[in-house]
């Protein structure tokens, strides 16, 4: 068991973890809002996707990544992955952090997204597009229900959307069928939906096609902006955590897969070349 004495105590970068590439949209949103900090992005690409894995496996994989980021100097880790946030965050916060280091923090991206829903929806009917694992966990339903009991939530799993993005087909004609099918499915579940959450970090790259087939007037919520605002507010409430985050405007990328492959895929999300280091987890 890792002990607090074994972890670096000096200030370090903000850790961003995802099972793959989608968390890069979260990193991009945070860097736009908070460019002054250093960031360490870890993608567990060798074991992705997490969306169809069990709760226990997602928890074990996510815990390994969090511990590694702690070992590399991070005092704050953001799970830039909806599946990890749904299946692992609570256990890590309640069980692991008290033993690893009570002064470190791990945050997710579901609650910051849920928090904005109340001010966005007028009909009080909200839709979710997400992976099968996130939909099955009902994490968005639970979080929104706690904050806004009057809001009705309907969710649809979109199993082909992630491959469309990762194979760089998000803007191609082949994506239209799969996007339109899920949009129609969601709106048939509840025609009163006026706000839709993109509950997977890959989905913003499909935004133009989602807008094309979504009924006029429906607001689409992409997470990066709201997670960045939430983190900014968190730092204001917790200056002791903010002070442990270094400021140099740097970002370093880690992957459990092939670095060249990661670099090529990352350009789909970031539109800029990145240098990547290979690591192993487990």
Token pair in block for residue 135: 């939909």
Please indicate whether residue 81 is annotated as part of the active site. yes
> 177: helix, coil or strand?
helix
Active site residue 245: no
Residues ≥6 apart with Cβ < 8 Å to 150: 124
Query: C-alpha distances in angstroms, 159 versus 31, 81, 149, 189?
Result: 29, 16, 29, 18
Helix (H) or strand (E) segment spanning residue 155: strand 152-157
**How many residues does this entry show for the chain?**
282
Which of 74, 81, 158, 245 is catalytic? The answer is 81
Residue 176 host element (H or E): helix 174-189
Catalytic residue among 74, 158, 200, 245: 200
Reduced to 3 states, what is the DSSP secondary structure of residue 192?
coil
Residue in the block written with tokens 């994490």: 139
Contact, 86 vs 133, CB < 8 A?
A: yes
Coil/strand/helix, residue 43: strand
DSSP label at 12? B
* Catalytic positions, written as ranges: 81, 200
């Amino acid at each position: 068991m890792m002990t607090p004495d074994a972890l670096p105590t000096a200030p370090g970068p903000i850790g961003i973890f995802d099972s793959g590439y989608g968390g890069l949209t979260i990193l991009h949103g945070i860097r736009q809002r908070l460019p002054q900090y250093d960031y360490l992005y870890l993608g567990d690409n060798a074991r992705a996707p997490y969306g169809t894995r069990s709760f226990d496996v997602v928890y074990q994989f996510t815990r390994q990544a969090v511990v590694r980021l702690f070992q590399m100097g991070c005092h704050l880790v953001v799970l830039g992955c909806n599946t990890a946030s749904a299946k692992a965050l609570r256990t890590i916060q309640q069980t692991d952090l008290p033993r690893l280091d009570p002064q470190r923090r791990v945050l997710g991206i579901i609650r910051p997204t849920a928090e904005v829903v109340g001010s966005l929806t007028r009909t009080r009917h909200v839709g979710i597009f997400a992976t099968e694992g996130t939909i099955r966990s009902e994490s968005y339903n639970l979080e929104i229900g706690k904050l806004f009991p009057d809001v009705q939530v309907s969710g649809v799993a979109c199993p082909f959307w992630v491959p469309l993005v990762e194979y760089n087909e998000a803007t191609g004609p082949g994506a239209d069928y799969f996007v339109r099918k899920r949009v129609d499915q969601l709106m048939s579940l509840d025609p009163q939906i006026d706000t839709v959450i993109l509950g997977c970090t890959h989905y913003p790259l499909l935004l133009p096609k989602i807008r094309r087939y979504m009924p006029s007037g429906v607001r689409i919520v992409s997470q990066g902006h709201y997670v960045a605002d939430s983190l900014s507010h968190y730092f204001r409430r917790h200056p002791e955590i903010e002070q442990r985050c270094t400021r140099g405007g740097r970002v370093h990328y880690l992957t459990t897969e092939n670095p060249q492959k990661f670099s090529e895929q990352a350009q789909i999300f970031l539109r800029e070349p990145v240098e990547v280091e290979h690591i192993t987890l487990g």
